[in-house]
Structure 1
Amino acid sequence: MARSQQLYLFLFVVFVSLQLASADRFTVGDRQGWNPNVNYTVWVEKHKPFHVGDWLVFYYQSGMADVVQVDEAGYNKCDASNPISNYSKGRNYAFQLNHTGRYYFVCSRGYCYGGMRLAILAERLPPPSPPPSSHRNSAARCRLSSALLALAVSLLSAAALFHFHL
Protein backbone atom coordinates (compact mmCIF):
# COMPACT_ATOMS: atom_id res chain seq x y z
CA MET A 1 0.00 0.00 0.00
CA ALA A 2 2.86 2.42 0.76
CA ARG A 3 4.21 2.08 -2.79
CA SER A 4 0.82 2.99 -4.20
CA GLN A 5 0.74 6.12 -2.07
CA GLN A 6 4.26 7.01 -3.17
CA LEU A 7 3.28 6.69 -6.83
CA TYR A 8 0.21 8.87 -6.36
CA LEU A 9 2.34 11.40 -4.51
CA PHE A 10 4.85 11.36 -7.37
CA LEU A 11 2.10 11.94 -9.92
CA PHE A 12 0.70 14.78 -7.81
CA VAL A 13 4.14 16.41 -7.58
CA VAL A 14 4.55 16.14 -11.37
CA PHE A 15 1.14 17.76 -11.88
CA VAL A 16 1.88 20.60 -9.44
CA SER A 17 5.29 21.15 -11.02
CA LEU A 18 3.69 21.53 -14.43
CA GLN A 19 1.25 24.07 -12.98
CA LEU A 20 4.05 26.09 -11.36
CA ALA A 21 6.18 26.09 -14.49
CA SER A 22 4.50 29.32 -15.55
CA ALA A 23 5.45 31.23 -12.36
CA ASP A 24 7.89 34.11 -12.71
CA ARG A 25 10.56 35.31 -10.29
CA PHE A 26 10.98 39.06 -9.79
CA THR A 27 13.89 40.71 -8.01
CA VAL A 28 12.25 43.64 -6.21
CA GLY A 29 13.95 46.83 -7.36
CA ASP A 30 15.92 44.93 -10.01
CA ARG A 31 19.66 45.69 -9.58
CA GLN A 32 18.95 48.33 -6.92
CA GLY A 33 17.28 45.77 -4.66
CA TRP A 34 15.22 46.54 -1.56
CA ASN A 35 16.87 49.81 -0.56
CA PRO A 36 16.02 53.43 0.24
CA ASN A 37 15.57 55.94 -2.61
CA VAL A 38 14.22 53.43 -5.12
CA ASN A 39 10.92 54.23 -6.83
CA TYR A 40 9.02 50.98 -6.36
CA THR A 41 5.88 52.39 -8.02
CA VAL A 42 7.86 52.71 -11.27
CA TRP A 43 9.33 49.23 -10.72
CA VAL A 44 5.82 47.73 -10.38
CA GLU A 45 4.63 49.50 -13.55
CA LYS A 46 7.65 48.15 -15.45
CA HIS A 47 7.00 44.53 -14.42
CA LYS A 48 3.23 44.15 -14.11
CA PRO A 49 1.07 42.19 -14.40
CA PHE A 50 1.96 39.93 -11.49
CA HIS A 51 0.20 36.59 -11.23
CA VAL A 52 -0.66 34.07 -8.55
CA GLY A 53 2.35 31.76 -8.25
CA ASP A 54 4.93 34.47 -9.02
CA TRP A 55 7.79 35.02 -6.59
CA LEU A 56 9.06 38.35 -5.25
CA VAL A 57 12.66 38.23 -4.07
CA PHE A 58 13.84 41.03 -1.81
CA TYR A 59 17.62 41.63 -1.56
CA TYR A 60 18.81 43.99 1.20
CA GLN A 61 21.71 44.69 3.55
CA SER A 62 21.69 42.45 6.59
CA GLY A 63 20.77 44.36 9.73
CA MET A 64 19.86 47.50 7.77
CA ALA A 65 16.45 46.56 6.37
CA ASP A 66 13.59 44.12 6.73
CA VAL A 67 10.52 43.08 4.77
CA VAL A 68 7.20 43.48 6.54
CA GLN A 69 3.92 42.50 4.89
CA VAL A 70 1.18 44.83 6.09
CA ASP A 71 -2.39 45.71 5.20
CA GLU A 72 -3.32 48.74 3.10
CA ALA A 73 -3.60 51.04 6.13
CA GLY A 74 -0.14 50.02 7.32
CA TYR A 75 1.23 50.63 3.84
CA ASN A 76 -0.34 54.10 3.59
CA LYS A 77 0.91 55.13 7.06
CA CYS A 78 4.27 53.30 6.93
CA ASP A 79 3.08 51.49 10.04
CA ALA A 80 4.51 48.01 10.60
CA SER A 81 3.10 47.63 14.12
CA ASN A 82 0.45 45.11 12.99
CA PRO A 83 2.36 42.92 10.48
CA ILE A 84 0.87 40.10 8.46
CA SER A 85 4.40 38.69 8.20
CA ASN A 86 7.83 40.00 9.06
CA TYR A 87 11.23 38.90 7.81
CA SER A 88 14.52 40.45 8.84
CA LYS A 89 17.11 37.66 8.83
CA GLY A 90 19.87 37.22 6.30
CA ARG A 91 20.20 39.33 3.18
CA ASN A 92 17.22 38.20 1.10
CA TYR A 93 13.65 37.06 1.36
CA ALA A 94 11.52 35.22 -1.21
CA PHE A 95 7.76 35.64 -1.07
CA GLN A 96 5.24 33.81 -3.26
CA LEU A 97 2.05 35.52 -4.37
CA ASN A 98 -0.34 32.71 -3.42
CA HIS A 99 -3.75 34.29 -4.01
CA THR A 100 -5.35 37.03 -6.08
CA GLY A 101 -5.49 40.45 -4.51
CA ARG A 102 -3.28 43.21 -3.23
CA TYR A 103 -0.10 42.69 -1.24
CA TYR A 104 1.64 45.46 0.69
CA PHE A 105 5.22 45.50 1.96
CA VAL A 106 7.18 48.09 3.93
CA CYS A 107 10.55 48.41 5.61
CA SER A 108 10.01 49.01 9.32
CA ARG A 109 13.48 50.46 9.93
CA GLY A 110 12.44 54.03 9.05
CA TYR A 111 13.11 53.76 5.32
CA CYS A 112 9.43 53.41 4.40
CA TYR A 113 9.08 57.20 4.64
CA GLY A 114 11.80 57.46 1.99
CA GLY A 115 9.82 55.27 -0.39
CA MET A 116 10.85 51.79 0.73
CA ARG A 117 7.39 50.32 0.34
CA LEU A 118 5.78 48.16 -2.30
CA ALA A 119 2.18 47.51 -3.38
CA ILE A 120 1.49 44.58 -5.73
CA LEU A 121 -1.71 43.33 -7.34
CA ALA A 122 -1.63 39.58 -8.03
CA GLU A 123 -3.97 38.51 -10.79
CA ARG A 124 -5.16 35.09 -11.85
CA LEU A 125 -2.90 33.57 -14.49
CA PRO A 126 -4.73 33.91 -17.81
CA PRO A 127 -5.35 30.76 -19.84
CA PRO A 128 -2.88 30.22 -22.67
CA SER A 129 -3.86 31.83 -25.95
CA PRO A 130 -4.68 29.41 -28.74
CA PRO A 131 -2.21 29.53 -31.61
CA PRO A 132 -3.35 31.03 -34.91
CA SER A 133 -5.57 28.69 -36.91
CA SER A 134 -4.10 26.87 -39.82
CA HIS A 135 -4.04 23.32 -41.08
CA ARG A 136 -0.38 22.98 -40.05
CA ASN A 137 -1.05 24.29 -36.51
CA SER A 138 -4.11 22.04 -36.21
CA ALA A 139 -2.02 19.00 -37.10
CA ALA A 140 0.69 20.00 -34.62
CA ARG A 141 -1.93 20.63 -31.94
CA CYS A 142 -3.48 17.24 -32.67
CA ARG A 143 -0.06 15.55 -32.39
CA LEU A 144 0.62 17.38 -29.11
CA SER A 145 -2.81 16.49 -27.72
CA SER A 146 -2.31 12.87 -28.77
CA ALA A 147 1.14 12.81 -27.18
CA LEU A 148 -0.21 14.25 -23.92
CA LEU A 149 -3.10 11.79 -23.94
CA ALA A 150 -0.68 8.92 -24.55
CA LEU A 151 1.53 10.14 -21.70
CA ALA A 152 -1.45 10.38 -19.36
CA VAL A 153 -2.68 6.90 -20.32
CA SER A 154 0.85 5.51 -19.87
CA LEU A 155 1.18 7.08 -16.44
CA LEU A 156 -2.22 5.82 -15.35
CA SER A 157 -1.50 2.36 -16.73
CA ALA A 158 1.84 2.29 -14.92
CA ALA A 159 0.09 3.39 -11.73
CA ALA A 160 -2.52 0.65 -12.12
CA LEU A 161 0.10 -2.02 -12.86
CA PHE A 162 2.24 -0.82 -9.99
CA HIS A 163 -0.78 -0.92 -7.68
CA PHE A 164 -1.83 -4.44 -8.72
CA HIS A 165 1.67 -5.89 -8.36
CA LEU A 166 1.91 -4.87 -4.71
Structure 2
Amino acid sequence: MSTVNATRFIVGDDKHWTFGYNYTDWAIKNAPFHVNDTLVFMYDPPTNITHPHSVYLMNNLRSYLACDLKKARMVGNVIQGGGSGFEFVLKKRKPHYFACGERNGIHCTIGLMKFVITPRRPCRG
Protein backbone atom coordinates (compact mmCIF):
# COMPACT_ATOMS: atom_id res chain seq x y z
CA MET A 1 0.00 0.00 0.00
CA SER A 2 1.37 3.44 -0.86
CA THR A 3 1.00 6.48 1.34
CA VAL A 4 1.10 10.14 0.48
CA ASN A 5 4.15 11.92 1.86
CA ALA A 6 3.72 15.64 2.35
CA THR A 7 6.48 18.08 3.22
CA ARG A 8 6.22 21.12 5.48
CA PHE A 9 8.19 24.14 4.22
CA ILE A 10 8.98 27.26 6.25
CA VAL A 11 8.74 30.00 3.62
CA GLY A 12 12.11 31.77 3.55
CA ASP A 13 13.67 29.18 5.87
CA ASP A 14 15.32 31.03 8.79
CA LYS A 15 14.58 34.44 7.19
CA HIS A 16 10.83 33.74 7.29
CA TRP A 17 8.54 36.18 5.39
CA THR A 18 10.43 39.47 5.36
CA PHE A 19 11.15 42.48 3.16
CA GLY A 20 14.19 42.23 0.88
CA TYR A 21 14.62 38.44 0.75
CA ASN A 22 14.42 36.80 -2.68
CA TYR A 23 11.52 34.33 -2.43
CA THR A 24 11.77 33.34 -6.08
CA ASP A 25 15.25 31.99 -5.33
CA TRP A 26 13.89 30.29 -2.20
CA ALA A 27 11.15 28.57 -4.23
CA ILE A 28 13.64 27.40 -6.87
CA LYS A 29 16.00 26.00 -4.21
CA ASN A 30 13.18 24.13 -2.44
CA ALA A 31 11.43 22.75 -5.53
CA PRO A 32 9.77 20.49 -6.34
CA PHE A 33 6.60 21.11 -4.37
CA HIS A 34 3.76 18.60 -4.38
CA VAL A 35 0.02 18.62 -3.80
CA ASN A 36 -0.59 18.25 -0.03
CA ASP A 37 2.68 19.97 0.90
CA THR A 38 2.30 22.73 3.47
CA LEU A 39 3.80 26.21 3.32
CA VAL A 40 4.30 27.89 6.70
CA PHE A 41 4.40 31.69 6.61
CA MET A 42 6.03 33.28 9.65
CA TYR A 43 6.44 37.02 10.18
CA ASP A 44 6.46 39.47 13.05
CA PRO A 45 3.21 41.19 13.92
CA PRO A 46 3.28 44.95 13.29
CA THR A 47 4.88 47.18 15.92
CA ASN A 48 6.38 50.67 15.98
CA ILE A 49 9.66 49.23 14.70
CA THR A 50 8.54 46.49 12.30
CA HIS A 51 6.79 46.64 8.95
CA PRO A 52 3.54 44.73 8.72
CA HIS A 53 3.35 41.83 6.28
CA SER A 54 0.51 39.80 4.86
CA VAL A 55 0.13 37.02 2.32
CA TYR A 56 -2.06 37.20 -0.77
CA LEU A 57 -2.80 34.58 -3.37
CA MET A 58 -2.75 36.37 -6.71
CA ASN A 59 -5.36 35.61 -9.33
CA ASN A 60 -3.09 35.07 -12.33
CA LEU A 61 0.38 35.59 -13.78
CA ARG A 62 -0.37 39.10 -15.02
CA SER A 63 -1.50 40.23 -11.56
CA TYR A 64 1.51 38.53 -10.01
CA LEU A 65 4.02 40.20 -12.34
CA ALA A 66 2.42 43.62 -11.80
CA CYS A 67 1.89 43.08 -8.04
CA ASP A 68 -1.74 44.01 -8.69
CA LEU A 69 -3.78 43.07 -5.62
CA LYS A 70 -7.23 44.07 -6.94
CA LYS A 71 -8.43 40.49 -7.49
CA ALA A 72 -6.06 38.79 -5.06
CA ARG A 73 -7.30 36.84 -2.04
CA MET A 74 -5.76 37.47 1.36
CA VAL A 75 -4.72 34.15 2.91
CA GLY A 76 -2.81 35.62 5.87
CA ASN A 77 -3.38 38.98 7.54
CA VAL A 78 -0.79 41.09 9.37
CA ILE A 79 -1.12 39.20 12.66
CA GLN A 80 -1.48 35.60 11.45
CA GLY A 81 2.24 35.15 10.80
CA GLY A 82 3.21 35.68 14.43
CA GLY A 83 4.38 32.89 16.71
CA SER A 84 4.44 29.62 14.80
CA GLY A 85 2.91 31.32 11.75
CA PHE A 86 0.07 30.00 9.65
CA GLU A 87 -0.12 27.12 7.23
CA PHE A 88 -1.24 27.03 3.62
CA VAL A 89 -1.78 23.56 2.14
CA LEU A 90 -1.17 23.18 -1.60
CA LYS A 91 -4.35 21.39 -2.67
CA LYS A 92 -4.30 21.76 -6.46
CA ARG A 93 -1.92 21.16 -9.36
CA LYS A 94 -1.98 24.73 -10.61
CA PRO A 95 0.25 27.78 -10.28
CA HIS A 96 0.06 29.44 -6.87
CA TYR A 97 1.14 33.09 -6.97
CA PHE A 98 1.98 34.43 -3.50
CA ALA A 99 2.81 38.03 -2.57
CA CYS A 100 2.92 40.42 0.34
CA GLY A 101 0.11 42.93 -0.03
CA GLU A 102 1.33 45.59 2.35
CA ARG A 103 2.11 49.16 1.36
CA ASN A 104 -0.16 48.84 -1.69
CA GLY A 105 2.04 46.15 -3.18
CA ILE A 106 5.37 47.90 -2.61
CA HIS A 107 6.71 44.94 -0.62
CA CYS A 108 5.89 42.80 -3.64
CA THR A 109 7.21 45.27 -6.21
CA ILE A 110 10.53 46.37 -4.72
CA GLY A 111 10.92 44.07 -1.75
CA LEU A 112 10.97 40.76 -3.63
CA MET A 113 8.15 39.46 -1.42
CA LYS A 114 6.56 37.23 -4.01
CA PHE A 115 7.00 33.78 -5.49
CA VAL A 116 5.17 31.29 -7.66
CA ILE A 117 5.05 27.53 -7.34
CA THR A 118 3.18 24.85 -9.26
CA PRO A 119 2.79 21.69 -7.19
CA ARG A 120 3.26 18.30 -8.80
CA ARG A 121 1.13 15.24 -8.14
CA PRO A 122 1.25 14.05 -4.53
CA CYS A 123 4.45 12.25 -3.67
CA ARG A 124 3.91 8.56 -2.93
CA GLY A 125 6.07 6.62 -0.54
Same fold, judged at TM 0.5 (above):
yes
- Structure 2 unaligned segments of length 5 or more: list them: 47-51
Q: How does 1:76-155 map to 2 (within 5 A)?
A: 76-88=65-77, 89-90=79-80, 91=82, 92-109=85-102, 110-113=106-109, 114-128=111-125
Q: How does 1:11-50 map to 2 (within 5 A)?
A: 19-20=3-4, 22-50=5-33
- Secondary structure in structure 1 of the residue aligned to 2:117: strand
- Between the aligned partners of 1:39 and 1:104, the Cα distance in structure 2 is 14
When the two chains are superposed, the root-mean-square deviation of aligned CA atoms in Å is 1.9
> Identity of counterpart residues, as a percentage?
32
- Structure 1 unaligned segments of length 5 or more: list them: 1-17, 129-166
Return the structure number with greater relative CO, CA threshold 8 A, min gap 6. 2
The answer to whether 1:65 aligns with 2:56 is no
Divergent runs of 4+, >3 A: none
In structure 1, give the amino acid aligned to 2:53. Answer: A
Query: 1:125: how far off?
Result: 2.6
TM-score (norm 2): 0.80
- Between the aligned partners of 1:122 and 1:101, the Cα distance in structure 2 is 7
Query: Which of structures 1 and 2 has the bigger CA Rg?
Result: 1
Task: Report the count of equivalent residues.
Answer: 111
Bigger share in helix:
1
In 1, are the aligned partners of 2:6 and 2:123 still within 8 Å (CA)? no
